[in-house]
Structure 1
């Protein structure tokens, strides 16, 4: 023992005595052991474990054999240990009694059956739900039968008792007669012996009975203690030592671990409360909640939940978690109460289950579609009817995946028509092209113009939808109305990389104006808008638009300002933050697919989106096409265009080269998909079919306005001749 500056705790194996405290200074030196006048008493030898409290690894132990003088812990520490022991016994007994009460209540009210029925309903498992309902009905019928048979059973037992008594009396009579006839003894001797034995039994009972009121409660308490040991668990501040309760960090966030974490947050008002003897009141003791634990504790005066939220990284560290695994909030109905949910370590990593609609099932625009799971493992339904979406996150964080999942679910509803505009070049939505009404991608002006035109047309279409609702005498679109009237079919418009639209120098202001008007008025008309951007700000996702957007999702984001631009001002301060999420990188997947959501559930929280690969998306789209064909729903036709008239309009009085005309036509009629895919060569071939021969002057193929006007005049003359 060459560590004079260390403190040791010796825990004796196999004994229930409190730990012994040993310091090198407390052991007598060798020259003192032989000093005159000292009693020749051998030093005690203790087999035990030495716990080095200042080691880097808490709880590290070393098996040793210690020879030397020892001293017990201070008397105050022993008193506290005794108090904790007493509290532990009482709490264990209480847990045992509670277990009996719960089991009795469950038996009386079919509690097991009720819980299984609720679980099956929450999971949407109809087969399990039907099975447990049937089991409960059988159990109720069996209990009813037993209760109905009870009076008959009592009568039967009474008859049996009477028969046994009569039989016993008859046997005794026969035996007594036999004894008398044999001359062994008087016949009454048999009855006297039986009565004497019965009297002895009653005497023994009378002797023991005074002890029953004392022994019975003790036996009952012992039984409750054993039951509590079987089903319960003590909080660390009771079960651990004083030193462990003050400084320990446990992966199970029970009441003791939570108090330890709060004690070490370095919040002055909270520290003052602890020093002043604050005794926390746990509104909700720690209980299992999904893939984690939940606790509610009433905070002391001068300590707000917001103070705790600001210290979330430290709180998570104290609870041996990452910040995204700890969620401190304040319940709406319990002001001043910290509602703390702590995920299991690693609960937010690993793959999510397959998307529920991946292999079968249909979508329902009016009921919503599965888009994500919460951190408790429950499937979250993304509303589409009367909902709009704002989605943001760094590149590689998973925002397009959320849109694709929601859109695939919507396309499995045969009534839905969807338009997708991507202000970038990518193939994310290509598998859905056969089922989409419009798919335009790219950084060119034609995509922005087509998107703006679609928003304007959709806003104008609200008048048509409003008149249709008036005709049907309805206030909002329903599935029944959408099935009867094609004018009321649900529409979804996706604008990915929307910053290119709202920040466009020429069209940005107009796009914002029409988007706000459309989103404000479209709620009951079955129109859903979805906006997504990697750089949320007041310019890329204008506040006017986000203020009326119902569902907001923020994936991994860089800073507080960007976080609040999508989730709302003050969200970061309130703990509603995605700043701690990591995007996908070359080093690993990070938190891809995990996002902070507002509007998806009653309270904001982390969700993990489902993932559908492009190959899987193609299979889902094929199923969606079959579902639509089987339902007999035809795609809404796009407005027919006249190529010659459109050419006359874009040319005006100016000559244009053939290669420039497809872009001009696309800008002129952005909703007409054939123009978006048209090339100069294809245009020349189509004009030739219409009898218009474009000269190849210098291989530039000039198109003159007179040439197009002549073709229109010739066609009109031919139409007149045909009519005559």
Structure 2
């Protein structure tokens, strides 16, 4: 019954509202995907190949250092033992008889099988007759051939010695006696007091092994015994130290290892200053691959020596210049093109000397225009009076000339800011074949008719600019903007400061620098202020640098192959050498026709201010009793674009504050023509300030 009902239901479904319809065409089956070609073996091989010849043998400097070390060590060894020769002679005379007696006793004991005597005596005392007879027989079997052999050897040796004694000259006989005496003395010496003293005390230099490295990373809690680090190869010598590349366990990063550098050094049982960690990047790198280099001694305690600039005839600033040596003794070339450099350190750590290297290199390129300002007014920068286009010392007016160096700096920076705009407009108009990618080229920069040479602005103790009561805020805004946009136009800025904190050197200004160099500072926070955010996470902390390592710092932002920054020992150029370099650079510039500005005596003179913010604000106010700050900035920029093109209401307020003109809420027409209540200036306040200023 149930099956019949099911059939009726099925028949009803099949005939109700049935009609003939056209079925849609069945789509063609998708074409099979093309098989991707299998990469060839050499396309997948990203392994880093170890050098066939050791690194120190390939580099000429390393070979020279090795030869010098070997020669120095041998000469020291000879001199050390030559001075102690009388002491060694007395020791030989005293120890030789004892050594001869020891040798005779050893030979006699061997020939008579003296080692079996205690066993024979023990068997006799124990009353073990069988063991006693067995030991006597065994000892007799050993003694007989040994005594016979010793007698024959003694006769042959005596005859041979007698024959050689008669055949060799007197000096050979004496040498043989001395050698025999020394041999007997060595046999008779006390192990705790050797015959000869050590010419060099043993240090803590040890061979680096995978076991020691593994122990260090386990101690630093970067690996476990059941989840260890893996090595790409065994530790090998690299310069004056050992190098090994390893992979941390999955989930661990190279940044973690850099942060725990102190713990790793403790696990290696070495000084932290001898350990250098870097992440390996590129095709052969990974987020967990770390290069570990352990120096034999503290490399930062050894000065880099005099700078090659002392002997250089000229420098191509487009290609970089020698800045110093890294921890391995390799040359560090610094290229400041399209970049800006911030140098920070506590006093007397070589900050000014390091910053001066950059300016000296630029001076040796006759087509680089120099603007040098030393806000502390020390003698460190006086040599640049021979070559600088603009040059200023100190932060107070000169009593002899009446020139205010801070005001001169501000005027100079405003001119450069206008020149940046001019250069960008010019580059936009030039054809692509002249300026590929719209960038300044070396040929264009060296063409005098183009008028766009490379410019290097150097400001030492830059924090004094920002603390200036009258021009500080304006200089902050201009310099921040200049560091931000000028490098692309070939105008580079180098600033040095001993106070990299937010109050003395504003964060907005510091954050614009692309290259940072931090010598020793007092705290980790000061180090991060100089090197930039995230430096501590990369294992870079300038507060850990040794106070004795003057001129040594951390270089970050150069894009070197050693990722995360390089430890650099800067070259040294003293005052007299810097003077000689600048005089040589002056001759280069005179021959090239690029000597100009302050170098030719065209120094700014004490004249009334070219412009006054108060007077300019009063002018653009016109007949208005009050106006919004943004409206005033727009009017100022329209009237004097070179001065006020980038001014904002906050900058206007900061410039008026020293004159006791305070911005306040005022009702006035805005930029859109609508009347509103916003921050602005009262005309009465401006005119009162003008009257009080005379």
TM bin (shorter chain): 0.5 to 0.7
Q: Distance in 2 between matches of 1:408 and 1:642?
A: 23
Q: Distance in 2 between matches of 1:647 and 1:307?
A: 55
The Cα shift of 1:443 comes to 3.3
**Is 1:507 aligned with 2:491?**
no
**Is 1:362 aligned with 2:314?**
yes
Q: Distance in 1 between matches of 2:416 and 2:316?
A: 21
Q: Is the 8 A contact 1:503 1:539 kept in 2?
A: no
Which of 423, 433, 437 is matched with 1:465 structurally? 423
Q: Distance in 1 between matches of 2:536 and 2:522?
A: 12
Which of 553, 567, 577 is matched with 1:616 structurally? 577
Q: Distance in 2 between matches of 1:300 and 1:644?
A: 67
Q: Is the 8 A contact 1:554 1:596 kept in 2?
A: yes
Which of 492, 496, 500 is matched with 2:456 structurally? 492
Equivalent position SS for 1:335? coil
Q: Is the 8 A contact 1:250 1:257 kept in 2?
A: no
Equivalent position SS for 2:492? strand
**Is 1:384 aligned with 2:336?**
yes
Q: Distance in 1 between matches of 2:260 and 2:219?
A: 10
Q: Is the 8 A contact 2:388 2:597 kept in 1?
A: no
Q: Distance in 2 between matches of 1:641 and 1:318?
A: 60
Equivalent position SS for 1:488? coil
The Cα shift of 1:301 comes to 4.9
The Cα shift of 1:388 comes to 0.6
Q: Is the 8 A contact 1:290 1:375 kept in 2?
A: no
The Cα shift of 1:115 comes to 11
Q: Is the 8 A contact 1:576 1:605 kept in 2?
A: no
Residue 211 (structure 1) aligns with: none
Q: Distance in 2 between matches of 1:477 and 1:499?
A: 31
Q: Distance in 1 between matches of 2:286 and 2:233?
A: 11
Residue 296 (structure 2) aligns with: 344
**Is 1:595 aligned with 2:550?**
no
Which of 439, 442, 447 is matched with 1:476 structurally? 439
Residue 39 (structure 1) aligns with: none
Residue 257 (structure 1) aligns with: 212
What does residue range 41-440 of structure 1 map to in structure 2 within 5 Å?
Answer: 119=59, 251-265=206-220, 267=221, 270=223, 273-274=224-225, 276=226, 278-301=227-250, 303-332=252-281, 333-440=285-392
Q: Distance in 2 between matches of 1:501 and 1:642?
A: 18
What does residue range 506-585 of structure 1 map to in structure 2 within 5 Å?
Answer: 506-583=470-547
Q: Distance in 2 between matches of 1:372 and 1:529?
A: 20
The Cα shift of 1:463 comes to 2.9
Q: Distance in 1 between matches of 2:342 and 2:606?
A: 41
**For the structure 1 residues 503 and 323, does the alpha-carbon distance in structure 2 shift closer, same or farther, using more than 3 Å as the test?**
farther
Q: Distance in 2 between matches of 1:330 and 1:630?
A: 47
**Is 1:449 aligned with 2:398?**
no
Residue 86 (structure 2) aligns with: none
Q: Distance in 1 between matches of 2:384 and 2:420?
A: 26
**For the structure 1 residues 530 and 282, does the alpha-carbon distance in structure 2 shift closer, same or farther, using more than 3 Å as the test?**
same
**For the structure 1 residues 427 and 640, does the alpha-carbon distance in structure 2 shift closer, same or farther, using more than 3 Å as the test?**
closer
Q: Distance in 2 between matches of 1:523 and 1:648?
A: 27
Q: Distance in 2 between matches of 1:642 and 1:394?
A: 32
**For the structure 1 residues 647 and 370, does the alpha-carbon distance in structure 2 shift closer, same or farther, using more than 3 Å as the test?**
closer
The Cα shift of 1:518 comes to 1.5
Moved more, 381-390 or 298-307: 298-307
Q: Distance in 2 between matches of 1:406 and 1:647?
A: 32
- Runs of at least 5 residues in structure 2 that lack an aligned partner in the other structure: 1-48, 64-203, 398-403, 616-694
Q: Distance in 1 between matches of 2:609 and 2:345?
A: 42
Q: Distance in 1 between matches of 2:356 and 2:455?
A: 15
Residue 683 (structure 2) aligns with: none
Residue 589 (structure 2) aligns with: 628
Please report the TM-score for the alignment, with normalisation by the length of structure 2: 0.53
The Cα shift of 1:578 comes to 1.1
Q: Is the 8 A contact 1:502 1:539 kept in 2?
A: no
Equivalent position SS for 1:429? helix
Q: Distance in 1 between matches of 2:336 and 2:534?
A: 26
Q: Distance in 1 between matches of 2:395 and 2:499?
A: 16
**For the structure 1 residues 330 and 646, does the alpha-carbon distance in structure 2 shift closer, same or farther, using more than 3 Å as the test?**
closer
Q: Distance in 2 between matches of 1:526 and 1:546?
A: 19
The Cα shift of 1:426 comes to 1.0
**For the structure 1 residues 306 and 532, does the alpha-carbon distance in structure 2 shift closer, same or farther, using more than 3 Å as the test?**
same
Q: Distance in 2 between matches of 1:616 and 1:642?
A: 28
Residue 27 (structure 2) aligns with: none
The Cα shift of 1:468 comes to 4.2
The Cα shift of 1:516 comes to 2.3
Note the alpha carbon deviations across 1:291-329, whole angstroms, 9 max, x for none: 332222222356554444343223223434332321234
Q: Is the 8 A contact 2:408 2:604 kept in 1?
A: no
Q: Is the 8 A contact 1:499 1:539 kept in 2?
A: no
Q: Distance in 2 between matches of 1:629 and 1:649?
A: 34
Q: Distance in 2 between matches of 1:512 and 1:625?
A: 32
Q: Distance in 2 between matches of 1:477 and 1:466?
A: 9
What does residue range 572-721 of structure 1 map to in structure 2 within 5 Å?
Answer: 572-583=536-547, 590-600=548-558, 601-602=560-561, 603=563, 604-636=565-597, 646=608
Equivalent position SS for 2:379? coil
The Cα shift of 1:476 comes to 2.4
The Cα shift of 1:435 comes to 1.2
Equivalent position SS for 2:422? helix
Residue 113 (structure 2) aligns with: none
Q: Is the 8 A contact 1:323 1:580 kept in 2?
A: no
- Runs of at least 5 residues in structure 1 that lack an aligned partner in the other structure: 1-101, 124-248, 584-589, 654-724
Q: Is the 8 A contact 1:321 1:345 kept in 2?
A: no
Alignment RMSD? 3.7
Q: Is the 8 A contact 2:56 2:239 kept in 1?
A: no
Q: Distance in 2 between matches of 1:472 and 1:648?
A: 33
Equivalent position SS for 2:301? coil
Q: Is the 8 A contact 1:374 1:607 kept in 2?
A: yes
Please report the TM-score for the alignment, with normalisation by the length of structure 1: 0.51
Equivalent position SS for 1:372? strand
Q: Distance in 1 between matches of 2:586 and 2:328?
A: 34
**For the structure 1 residues 645 and 290, does the alpha-carbon distance in structure 2 shift closer, same or farther, using more than 3 Å as the test?**
closer
Note the alpha carbon deviations across 1:12-36, whole angstroms, 9 max, x for none: xxxxxxxxxxxxxxxxxxxxxxxxx
Residue 8 (structure 1) aligns with: none
Residue 194 (structure 2) aligns with: none
The Cα shift of 1:346 comes to 2.7
Equivalent position SS for 1:553? strand
